[in-house]
Structures are given as structure tokens and as C-alpha cells.
Structure 1
Amino acid sequence: MSFNLIESVKGLISGDLISKAASTLGESEGGIQKLINGAVPVSIASMIQNATNSSDGGAGLLDTARQVSRSGVLGNPGSLFSGNTSSVPGLSGIMESLFDGNFNSISNALSSFAGVRSSSASSILSMVVPVVLGVFGKHAIDNNLSATDATSFLASQKLSLLSSLPPGLDVAGMLGISSLSSLGSKISGGATTVADTAQQTVDYAAGPVKKGDNWVMPLLLVLIAAALIWYFLKGNNKASSGAVTVDTTTVVTPPVTTPILTLTRIKVRLPNGKMLNAYTGGIEDKLVAYLNSNEAVSKDKWFDFDNVNFKTGTTGLTDSSQQQIQNIAEILKAYPKVKVKVGGYTDKTGDSIANQKLSQSRAETIASAIKTAGANAQQVVGAEGYGSHFATVDASASDEARKVDRRMALNVREK
């Protein structure tokens, strides 16, 4: 499972620490929690912007993060409440440089968002930034990341960042950028762009899609396939009189780069009028489209969760997973006849028996979470862990390649 910077940072900020901060600063615990929930993504967004826009390719930020990690602040984040970071290696002047001289204005914006005093927002932000830097630095050290690797890693956190943003928090506005989709735009290959400036609404309130309405996409795919076939046939040399033609032309193959994945935020309107925040091609989008289609139910058709993660080595869901769990519960409530089963899968590494047990526990966790989120328990008819039984990627492959086998999914049994 990929490393989630936001969840790792929040994992270090315990309930006791929040209580201590509230008592020390004279604020409510709810206000401090809301403040932290805002300060963490603001800090990470600032780091992404700093790394991708710096002339040194993020080397300076990486060096600072490594120093902070080695300083020991992660063992006692509460010691940073005072805002005095001068004693921590690498942190001298980091607040102003990281926020491009706008530390006070960002503190004030967080203060208004959380309903706390500006001084409290400043103190919490001064604590959160070193913690974020320290966690990032530790990850970079543990994985021997270069500046380029570290900057790409930060860019990979954008989707998690967007998913974790509390309602009403305008991170882009605080940082003086047009939208979060502009973060990391200088990174080529593997960057994820989220189009968050204009949301599309997919409306299913009108009821199921009629069978006659489904001809456009198949026709388009046929036309594309025909065009590709024509292109490749046209480009190949034809053999004459049965002779084999040998092409001696030197072919220069351009470097292979990872295509940029564009994710568009959408609003999915359910038949009961409920609106869901989702992404084009995400599980909510695909699942609701399927439920509104004439496609028959099949035990072989699974919908992969794309924003549900577990805390490392456990069966506990991360906080950021709750949004998608809630969305699935809302979909089931909107389609009371639908029944689903949850499946869990692992890659081929490790002990197969242990993998099966872990996948079973995680499938049960998701099924239980969907029920807790308000779905009718009768609609979640099962949870099964398949371990590595259906894994397709060899155990010796890279971790990135094996990600496809580590998934949680949903199967519709009745609709």
C-alpha cells in the first residue's frame, strides 16, 4: 500500500496532544482538531508548491526535511507549541520561506476557518509544519529518495490531499494559486492532475438509462479501433509476390514516460436527490452508472475501491477512507433493492495463508463500515478475502507493479 503522508502525520497527533494543546492555548478541543485538519493539508500543499517551483528541484526542501527528521521532533511534537523552532536543525526561517512570506496571512485564514484565535492558529501551524517535514524526511531517508524522487512523491500526494480537505477550507486561496490542480505541474511522468475548478454533475435522479441510449460509446470505440487499424496497416510495408521485405531503417524510440492521469471532480446525483462528491471513473461513478444500466448482474464484475486505505499493517481504515465508505452507503440507501458483497485481494508476496486472513479481515472491516455509515445491513450480503488467489503480477515484480493486485472491491449480487 502506498505511503500516505497526511494519514501518517495525523497519526502522530494524538487525542491527548489535542487536549493538551486546547488547554495550553485556551481553545476548545473541537476548534484545535478543526485547525489541525486544516493546517496539515495547507502545509503539504505548500511543500508541493515549494518543491516543484524551486530552482534546485526540491533539493533544499528535502535536505531540511531530513534534518528535521533526525532532530527527534517526531518523538515530542507537543514541544513545538511555542513556535520557537530555532533550536531544531534546518528550521530556521522555514515558516516564511515555505509559505513564501505569507505565514501570518495563512495563520489568519486558518484562524477564521477553525474559529480560534490567530495566535492559536500560528502556534498550531508552527507545530504541524515541522511534524509534516519530519515525516516526509523520515520517508525519504528510509527509502533513499533523491530530490527528484522526493518531489515526485510529494506530487503523488495530491489526490490524498484533496480527499482529506475538510469542507469549507480553501487551500488554493490561502496559497495564492488558482486551484490545487496547478500544484506539481512541472513534474512530467506519473503526476496526477485533478481538475477541481469546474465540477460536472452526473444526474441519475431521472431513473435508469434506457437501453437505446447506450449506442453512442460503443460506436465511438468502434470508430477509434477502425482508425487505429487503418493507421497501422498504412504504416507497414506490404510484401509483394510472397517475398519477405526487410526494413533496414533505423528506428529511434522516444523515451517512455508515464502518461498523466487526469481526474475530474464530479457531483453524482442519486435517484433520491442525494449528491455525492466523486471523480470521473471512480467507484461511485462506475457503480451508479451500472445500477442504472440494463447490464445483467454477474459474479465476475467487481468495482474497485479507489480511495479506501488501511493503516499500515492493520485492518483499521484511515480517516480519509470514510468519505468513500459513506458514499457507498448512500448509494445503497438510494437503491434499496441492491445487494452487494465485499471482496479483499492481496499480491503474491508473503505467506498465502496470512494474506488470505488479512484480506478476509479487511473485507469484513469494509462491510461493517458500510453498515455503520447507514446502509441497510440486509444489503451487504457478504465479505470474503481471496488473498493472492487472483493475483496476476509476479512476486518478484516492483511494488508499483504489484499494486494492481492489492485491492478491495465490491460486487453487485442483486439490483
Structure 2
Amino acid sequence: MSLNIIDLIKGQLGSALVTQASSQLGESESGISKAIGGLLPAVVGGLANNSNNPAVLDAISNAPSQGILGNLLGLATNNTWVQDLLASIFGDKLSGLVNSIATYAGISNNSSASLLNLVTGATIGSVGKYAADNNLDQAGISNLLNDQKGIVSSLLPAGLSLASLNVGDWAKGYKFDNDNDAIKNGPISTPNPIPTPVANAEPKIEITRDVADGGTFPDRPTTNEGGSIWKWLLPLLLLIAASYFLWKQCEKKETTTTTTVAGDSLSTTADTSSMPMDTANTMSTTKTDENIDLNGTMLKGYKGGMEDNMITFLKSGSYASAANDAALKDNWYNFDHVNFKMGSSTELEAGSQGQLENLVAILKAYPEAKIKIGGYTDKVGNEAANVKLSGERATYIKDWLAKQGVASQVTGADGYGSEFATVDASASDAERAADRKMAVRFTK
């Protein structure tokens, strides 16, 4: 089964980026998410149909050196190279794509155009990183893009089609141009001689048909009984439509969102003997920041989230009464917002610093408390690389906290790769995100 490029990109377009884009563009998060869902397959399809385009191949080959993935929101503004690339891919159909996505997602055309730039940058950057990691030359990149042609149509969300996206002739690369097929007439059988045409007269063609006695299909009834098929077919179609509608409604009720963003297969969490446990984060649910009371100081966090649970634990006296480190090692607090950029151990996603600052405030309020940071990944990728990167990320957080004046309270930072991952590597990226967390625990 060929690689699905969209799986490479999803980590770049998680809830943290959606929130930031929503704030930057002045649109609802649901509208931003819906637009991205429609733009992703359109952009991947455009690249696949231009798999031999030198501009596309050069952009992907040069992406790692340009640091594209580190500044996706910057691409949402006017960006010459992205716009030039899009013009090369979609031509005069570009505005039609922007308008269609704006209408579909309920956002402005300007926001749709900005998100198209962002999604294109995420796609080029992710494919470029994959190509660099796997030593793909331009021929290999071209083959990778070509492989997407068979799956693009299946990736479009409900309510969108290549036709509705106004993408024009390039969609023919996916054989979705049935409405444009010309009807080709074959040779016409003319068993009777055609009379010699009269001078200056229009040529005429006589068409004859061989029909057997009793009609073309003598074993079929010739009366108008065919219409009776609708007596049972129409109710069946209505039943199928009603069943589909009910299924979609149930699916909507069951759909939830998670506040943890999967940066890539090498995101982080904490410690050794077991996976981090935090009931506030093991559930995938929509959460809203609220005021968390830290001895009269209000921190922004989730009720039942990391800050809330840590403060509650400290206030209860359970930390002070713990006899040793063994009594604390199983009590983990998962970060809700701290995520690294894809493949990086030194760059945090925007919005991560706020929760780290909350942790500093907690430690300064309880100077006797000590903590440990660590790293965990999912089961995808080389394990040695997973351990290395997860350890580097944990160390980065430890060093960052030390610079805020709490160095003596951070006792360690370790990376454990996928040692404690529970989700199979063949699962979806969203499912594997449960194993890619950052967490902190108290120590003695």
C-alpha cells in the first residue's frame, strides 16, 4: 500500500495551529478545520497531477533548508514563492478553488486564500522532510506524488467533490472527468446502397438496423412494464438515504476533539515505570481554559487538567507526606498544550510556553516540591532515533525551566522512546497520538 502523504501533514495542522489561525484570521475554529479538511486533498491532488513539474520538485527538494515547517502561520500572509507555486499548479482555476472552499467552510475568501498558502506550505515542508529523511531524489519524489492519484478522491470530506472545487482540467488526471467525455461514434452499418449524391446536394446517410422478429430482445416483454420497477426501487433508495442520514447524525454525536496536538511521531511525555496517567488527559474531550487558583494567583488552565491536579495534590499535603520517590513515581500529570515542532527538539509549537510558565509559577509557590521531565513517542520510526529525540526534548524542557529560576527543583529529564507505547504502529495518526505526550511527575 502506497504512502498517504496526508498522514505526513496532519501533525502540522493540529488543534494548536487551528486555534492560532482562527485568532489570526478572525474565523471560527470549526470553519478553519473544515477549510483545511477540504484544502488538503485538493493541494495533494494538484501536486500529484504536477509530479513532473520542475517548480514542484524544486520546492519540495529545497523545503528542508528553508525551514518551512517552522513558520507555517507566516505562510498565511502574502508569500511570493507559495503563490507562484499555486499558480503553476492550478493556473486560472486558483480563484475558483479559493471561492469554493470559502463557501464550503463558511469563511471569507481572504481567509480561504491564506489557509491555502498555509496548507501548501505544510504539504511541501512535510513531503520535503520525508524525502530528505528517506534519501529520495527528484525521481523518487515524483513517484511518491504519482502514487497519490489513486486516493485523492477518497480523501475529500463529505460535501466536496473535485467538480465542486472548480479545479478544472487538472482533475482529469484522476479520471473524474466523465461529464466531459466526448461521445465517439463508431462506423455506421449501411447494408443498403447509398444513392449517388445529386450535385450541390447535402450528403445524406441512411441508417438501417437489423431487428429480429419480435423485437431486438424477443425474450423480454415489449409492453411498458419497465416503469413498474420504480414501485420497489424508489422506496429502497429513500430507505438507503434515510439510513445514511441517521448514520451521519450518530457519527456527529460521537465525534470529540482532543486538546493534545500530535507534532510528529516523536513528540514527548514523561518517566519510566509506566505510561503517564492523568484522568484529565486520557479522555478525548473538548476543553476550555478557566482560572485555576494558585494560592490567590489565577493561572489559565483546564479544570481537572495538569495545573489543577498538581495544585490540588500539593495543597492536600500528599507531596509533603510522601516518604520517598517510589511513593510518587506513578502519579503523572500530562501537559495539555506543550508540543514540539515536527522533528525538532529545540522549537516549541506556539502556545506551549504558557503552560510551562504555569509550571514555573507552581514550583515557585511550592519551593520544596521537585519534579522530573521525560519523553515518550509512539511506535512509528526507528527506536534509537525515538529515544534520542525524546530525551533531547525532555532535556530542553528541563533546561528551559532552569533558566526561569527553578533549576534546583527539576531533578531529571529522560527519554524513553516508544518503550511504553500501547497503540499499534499500524493505527491511525490520531490514535497513536495517545502515546505522544509530555508529562511531569513529582520526585523526592
2:46 and 2:300 map into 1 onto residues whose CA distance is 36
C-alpha separation in 2, matches of 1:352 and 1:362: 15
Q: Which of 290, 302, 321 in structure 2 is aligned with 1:266? A: 290
Q: Does 1:280 align with 2:303?
A: yes
User: Secondary structure of the equivalent of 2:157?
Assistant: helix
Q: 1:150 to 1:322 in 2, by over 3 A?
A: farther
SS in 2 for 1:411: strand
- CA apart distance, 1:66: 4.1
The aligned runs of 1:353-368 (5 Å cut-off) are 353-368=384-399
Q: For residues 355 and 49 of structure 1, what CA distance do their matches in structure 2 show?
A: 32
SS at match of 1:343: strand
Structure 1 counterpart of 2:72: none
- Work out the CA distance in 2 between the residues paired with 1:282 and 1:381: 23
Given residue 191 of structure 1, which amino acid in structure 2 is its aligned partner? T
Q: In the alignment, which residue of structure 1 is the partner of 2:118? A: 132
1:371 Cα deviation after fit: 2.9
Q: Which residue of 2 aligns with 1:241?
A: none
RCO higher in structure (CA 8 A, sep ≥6): 2
Q: Which residue of structure 1 lines up, in the alignment, with residue 218 of structure 2? A: none
Tell me, in whole angstroms, the C-alpha distance in 1 between the residues paired with 2:83 and 2:121.
20
Determine the C-alpha separation between the residues in 1 that align with 2:159 and 2:361.
37
Ranges in structure 2 where 5+ consecutive residues have no aligned partner:
1-7, 64-74, 128-144, 161-248, 260-282, 323-327
Over 3 Å counting, the alpha-carbon distance change for 1:322 and 1:362 in structure 2 is same
Q: Does 2:231 align with 1:191? A: no
Aligned to 1:235: none
1:91 aligns with 2:94: yes
**Cα pair 2:16 2:351 within 8 Å, conserved:** no
What secondary structure is seen at the aligned counterpart in 2 of 1:342? strand
Contact 1:344–1:363 (CA<8 Å) still a contact in 2? Answer: yes
The residue aligned with 1:5 is: 13
Q: Secondary structure at the match of 2:438?
A: strand
**Secondary structure of the residue that 2:318 maps to in structure 1?**
coil
**d(CA) in 1 for partners of 2:112, 2:35:** 17
| In 1: Cα distance, 2:121 partner to 2:258 partner | 24
For 1:269 and 1:361, the matched residues in 2 are separated by 32
What's the counterpart of residue 346 of structure 1?
377
CA deviations over 1:61-90 (Å, ceiling 9, x no partner):
55644466568699596227999x877624
Q: State the shift of 1:356 in Å.
A: 2.4
Give 2:317's aligned amino acid: N
Per the TM alignment, residue 341 of structure 1 is displaced from its structure 2 partner at its CA by 0.9
Residue by residue over 1:128-174, the C-alpha shift from the partner in whole angstroms, topping out at 9 and shown as x without a partner, is 333124257778987966223999xxxxxxxxxxxxxxxxxxxxxxx
Alignment of 1:58-77 (within 5 A): 61=39, 64-66=42-44, 75=59
1:127 and 1:79, CA in 2 relative to 1: closer, same or farther beyond 3 A? Answer: farther
Change (3 A) 1:185 1:335: farther
Counterpart selection for 1:39 from 10, 24, 31: 24
Task: Pick the aligned partner of 2:356 from 325, 343, 347.
Answer: 325
Give secondary structure in 1 for the equivalent of 2:336: coil
Does 2:407 correspond to 1:377?
Answer: yes
How far 1:331 sits from its partner (Å)? Answer: 1.7
Distance verdict in 2 for CA 1:41–1:299, change over 3 Å: farther
Matched, 1:411 2:414: no
2: CA distance, partners of 1:314 / 1:146: 28
Q: Which structure has the larger Rg over C-alpha atoms?
A: 2
Which residue does the alignment assign to 2:365? 334
Letter in 2 for 1:264: T
TM-score (norm 2): 0.47
Could you tell me whether the CA contact under 8 Å between 1:46 and 1:98 is conserved in 2? no
**TM superposition shift of 1:383:** 1.0
Post-superposition shift, 1:348?
3.9
Give the equivalent residue in structure 2 for 1:306.
336
Aligned to 2:157: 148
Matched-pair contact (CA < 8 Å) for 1:342–1:383: yes
Q: Kindly indicate whether the alpha-carbon contact (under 8 Å) linking 2:21 and 2:32 is maintained by their aligned counterparts in 1.
A: no
Give the TM-score normalised by structure 1. 0.50
1:48 corresponding residue in structure 2: 33
What is the percentage of aligned positions where both structures have the same residue? Answer: 33
Query: Which residue is 1:79 aligned to?
Result: 80
Classify 1:409/1:321 alpha carbon distance in 2 versus 1 (closer, same or farther; 3 Å).
same
Contact 1:305 1:407 in 2 (8 A): yes
For residues 8 and 269 of structure 1, the distance between their equivalents in structure 2, rounded to whole angstroms, comes to 24
Following the alignment from structure 1 to structure 2, what is the Cα–Cα distance between the partners of residues 404 and 97? Answer: 34
1:380 deviates by 1.3
Higher-strand-fraction structure: 1
Query: In structure 1, the residue corresponding to 2:118 is in which secondary structure?
Result: helix
Aligned equivalents of 1:371, 1:41: Cα separation in 2:
36
Q: Could you tell me which residue of structure 2 aligns to residue 13 of structure 1?
A: none
Q: Is this contact kept in 1: 2:374–2:416, CA < 8 A? A: yes
- More displaced 10-residue stretch of structure 1: 323-332 or 85-94: 85-94
